[in-house]
Amino acid sequence: DTAVSQTPKYLVTQMGNDKSIKCEQNLGHDTMYWYKQDSKKFLKIMFSYNNKELIINETVPNRFSPKSPDKAHLNLHINSLELGDSAVYFCASSQDLGQEAYEQYFGPGTRLTVT
Amino acid sequence: AQTVTQSQPEMSVQEAETVTLSCTYDTSESNYYLFWYKQPPSRQMILVIRQEAYKQQNATENRFSVNFQKAAKSFSLKISDSQLGDTAMYFCAFTASGAQKLVFGQGTRLTINP
């Protein structure tokens, strides 16, 4: 059983296009995240959602818009794609237990290539 | 703001050897958690080990153990009896209590040679 799934796993598109990445978790977690891994493998938080509410927006351009239709889903829509958006995007989830921080479970990643 | 530093971009050891990966962090928080994640060539992020800052005892998971030095803000990972399957990028990560985000180090690329 896949815990955190993302679609698609690979996405190649041209500059200026709009694209979406979907994420679903079947772990019953309350909190979901989007991370970006750049070409140097550096991972950085983009957004976190708790019970469908935005908690963290880490100075991400407005072209990136996350949407959480329910606790199990957190999608990422990107408008007007730029070359610099090329990266691997990871979705993750974790159980929210107040101040306790447990493991974040990561999806397989989506490699986005903008040409 | 918290920062996490991994000073070893790459390491390489022979199979069955012991290897230690370094990680230091900077924070003014008193309650936090530290993690080591592994990313093999498959790209999947896998939790290796977790440490609560309020616990003095170092975490261990089979062949993986940490040396947590709170005063020095150091959190190194020791891999004993290394195996070929340990070849991966290893990321040290920090989260403050209730922060709901991980702050990652730059990663260390570890290669286990046969």
DSSP letter string, B16-36: T--EEE--EEE---SSEEEEE
Torsion, Cα B62 B67 B68 B72, to 10 degrees, reads -170
Q: Is A28 left (phi over 0), alpha (psi -120 to 50) or beta?
A: left
* Chain segment A12-25, per-residue pLDDT in tens: 999 999 999 999 99
Nearest to B98 among A45, A99, A108 (CB): A99
Nearest to B33 among A55, A58, A101 (CB): A101
The helix (run of H) or strand (run of E) holding residue B11 is: strand B10-14
- For the cut 80, the answer to whether the pLDDT of residue A99 exceeds it is no
Check A41 against B89: CB less than 8 A apart: yes
Nearest partner of B21 among B95, B97, B106, B113, judged by Cα: B106
Residues 6+ apart with CB under 8 A from A98: B98
- For the cut 80, the answer to whether the pLDDT of residue B67 exceeds it is yes
The share of chain A scoring above pLDDT 70, in percent, equals 97
Q: What is the model's pLDDT at position A97?
A: 67
Nearest to B100 among A41, A43, A55 (CB): A55
Q: What is the model's pLDDT at position B70?
A: 95
Mutate to test the interface with B, among A29, A37, A39, A43 (most CBs of B within 10 A): A43
| Site of tokens 């924070």 | B27
Check B98 against A103: CB less than 8 A apart: no
Q: What is the model's pLDDT at position B99?
A: 85
Distance from the Cα of B48 to chain A's closest Cα (Å) equals 10
Is B55 touching A (CB cutoff 8 A)?
Answer: no
Check B97 against A48: CB less than 8 A apart: no
Helix, strand or coil for residue A104? Answer: coil
Is A88 touching B (CB cutoff 8 A)?
Answer: yes
Nearest to A88 among B43, B101, B102 (CB): B43
Q: What is the mean pLDDT of residues A15-36?
A: 96
Q: Which residues pair with A70 in a beta bridge?
A: A73
Is A58 touching B (CB cutoff 8 A)?
Answer: yes
Specify the higher pLDDT residue, B80 or B56: B80
* Chain segment A38-79, per-residue pLDDT in tens: 999 999 999 999 988 898 888 899 999 999 999 999 999 999
The share of chain B scoring above pLDDT 90, in percent, equals 92
